[in-house]
A = this chain, B = another copy of it.
Amino acid sequence: MPVSETMAMRLRRAYMTMHRYAQQHFASFGVTADQYVLLSLLAEQDEIRQQDLAARAYSDPNTIAAMLSLLEEKKLLRRKRDKSDGRAKLVCLTALGHRLHEKLIRSVEPIHAEMERAVGADRQALFASLWQIESTLANLQLKSSVDQ
């Protein structure tokens, strides 16, 4: 089978197209698509540890730390030591960060709408398949590492 017709490449194309589109969209606000995800997660839950943020953003602690440094320089968030655990830091949005997030969340509504419209009634089937892929491969990974 041609590479371009494999499930892997189809998934890549869908994800990359979405990511590129989002990247371009958010550029006019001076943030990246991934930074928007972080801001949204922080708006959803304040005072969150970097580890938790990494898990929710489906990223990793190293990447999150780098992204937070950039967002902190831009005064969109701050980090304070967790009093109950001196190793951890709690991240929260600044007022500026909240205001930006409000603007951003309004700006993405049309995009979400377009994506929903694109998949239409197959939405639930798509979600089920995506979840199947995710859970199957995540478990494979787990299994082989537990085998050691």
A residues lining the B interface (CB < 8 Å) = 2-4, 6-18, 20-22, 24, 37, 40-41, 44, 56, 58, 112, 114-120, 122-123, 125-138, 140-141
Contacts and interface: CB of A to CB of B under 8 A. Distances in A.
Consensus secondary structure, chain A interface: helix
Contact of A137 (B21, B40, B129): B21
B140 A114 contact: yes
A115 B40 contact: no
B118 A16 contact: no
A122 to B, nearest CB: 5
Given A15-B12, A20-B141, A126-B125, A56 B134 contact: no
Contacts of A141: 20-21, 24
Contacts of A24: 141
